[in-house]
Homo-oligomer: A and B are copies of this chain.
Amino acid sequence: MPDVTDRPAHMTIYVCVTCRQADEPLEPRSARSGARLFVDLSAKAGAGTRIVPVECLSVCKRPCTVSFAAPGKWTYVYGDLPPETSASIILAGAQLFEAAPDGVIPWKLRPEALKRGVVARIPPLVPAPSSAENAA
């Protein structure tokens, strides 16, 4: 039985499955742009990549939307990703995110769609220092 505790923590790609273009019908939900992008990403991703569907990333004006997250790394949110053509770009970006120790992909290496489509980034969540806890 493998010792999983020694493995590097893998990243997660969150995919907003409720994302839809303005001219798309609400139903069926499985036909929405976000749901279709999730299916395409899941089909194209390797076994080690964790693709997780999310009911709304709150970036409704910039479909489709995904997020890269991993323990100890910056979290990134990207939008403006067309469902038909974005899976391979997202997976290439995810590989670069995995390779970056802090999750910050060097600008020159970043795919154009991820440069233009960045919505937000959030630092890695670290526990409050014990000195601050004691001072409270």
Contacts and interface: CB of A to CB of B under 8 A. Distances in A.
B48 A136 contact: yes
Contact of A75 (B9, B75, B132): B75
A64 B127 CA distance: 25
A101 interface: no
Number of copies: 2
Interface of A: 2, 4, 7, 9-10, 12, 14, 47-48, 50, 52, 54, 56-59, 65, 67, 69-71, 75-77, 118-123, 125, 127-128, 130, 132-136
Nearest to A119: B120
Contacts of A134: 2, 4
B123 A14 contact: yes
